Amino acid sequence: MTLPVTHPFLQVENLARIYPTTGGKDVTVFDHVNFRIHKGEFVCVTGHSGCGKSTILNILAGLDTASVGNVFMDGREISGPSLDRGVIFQGHALMPWLTVLENVSFAVKSRWTSWNKQQVRDHAMRYIELVGLKGAEHKKPSQLSGGMKQRVGIARAFSIEPKMLLMDEPFGALDALTRGVIQDELLKICAETQQTVFMITHDVDEAILLSDRIMLMSNGPHARIAEIVNNTLPRPRERSVLHKQPHYYPIRNHLVDFLVSRSKQFGSLRDAPDAPSSPTVFDPADLMEPEPVVVPAPPVGKPHIHLVNA
């Protein structure tokens, strides 16, 4: 029996971004970037500043163009912006003269141009309630806290029901408590909608909490996706008990070690003849330290004395 071939929802092939300079020497931010994302998967990418994470996201969003390579989503090549891809940036990017409801409704009307006013309002309110902002729908951004503004951005992005959600460090400017609350809400929304997500983060713990896979980028220039770690921590995840999972610390230690040391080492080795052309994939089982072998002690008994005749 032949099993059906499953094609990835998003496929990135040999991507590179090269910027010309006035001195005539081009700067290659990243090159040879290859990865796949399957439908409903939550993928995080992390790496040091300047390695091109946001540039990759902008190319996926259709806001920038790759110098080399191709990106395919749902069987079609990405060639520009589309409502099939929702984007949440580091800043909330809300229209300050509109209320929460009007900001979300603006996106809904762009998606479904034939809907009447009541249909647009009902749909927008569904996502406003989903992010916990019911009762604040008539407030303007100036009347909201930073966390509430970012929730509006999340509601707006989800309201157009995109095939893929792209998130560029959306919680980076929030305090730890607010960030934790919104992360938990995001987990619930993604579980309910089965949303496909590509997210940039500098927070190792955030990546472990949210993602199915974590992509690690080497330092630029000529950055690449050096490693991919499969996150097998069971869902649903609760931050209060996540650290008790046996794979939690092996995954976390591996990520931190890469960011501290291996990202630099990979950069110095990428031009070697035996440098890997594709990312190395790690499973938590590969990261576990083997349990020490316990050698049983010999039985303790009375010493035997052998008398030898001279």
Cα distance between residue 310 and residue 64, in whole Å: 96
Q: Which two tokens stand for residue 302?
A: 């009375």
Q: Using one digit for the tens of pLDDT, what is the confidence trace for 247-262?
A: 999 999 999 999 998 8
Looking at per-residue pLDDT, the higher value among 103 and 182 belongs to 103
What is the share, in percent, of the chain residues with pLDDT greater than 70?
A: 87
Residue 87 · residue 166 · CB < 8 Å: yes
Predicted confidence (pLDDT) at residue 2 exceeds the cutoff of 50: no
How many Å apart are CA 28 and CA 5, to the nearest integer?
Answer: 35
Q: How confident is the model at residue 273 (pLDDT cuts 50, 70, 90)?
A: very low
Per-residue confidence at 143, pLDDT binned at 50, 70, 90? very high
Q: Is-contact 72 10, C-beta < 8 A?
A: yes
* Residue among 97, 93, 101 at smallest CA distance from 126: 101
**pLDDT range class, residue 299, cuts 50, 70, 90:** low
Q: Looking at the chain, which runs of residues are DSSP E strands?
A: 10-19, 27-37, 42-46, 68-73, 76-77, 85-88, 164-168, 196-200, 213-217, 225-230, 280-282
Is 84 in contact with 164 (CB distance < 8 Å)? yes
Q: What is the mean pLDDT of the chain?
A: 87
pLDDT at 98: 96
Can you say whether the dihedral through the CA atoms of 87, 92, 93, 95 is positive or negative?
Answer: positive
**Cα(206)–Cα(276) distance, integer angstroms:** 28
- Report d(CA 150, CA 158) in Å as an integer: 12
pTM of full prediction above 0.75 = yes
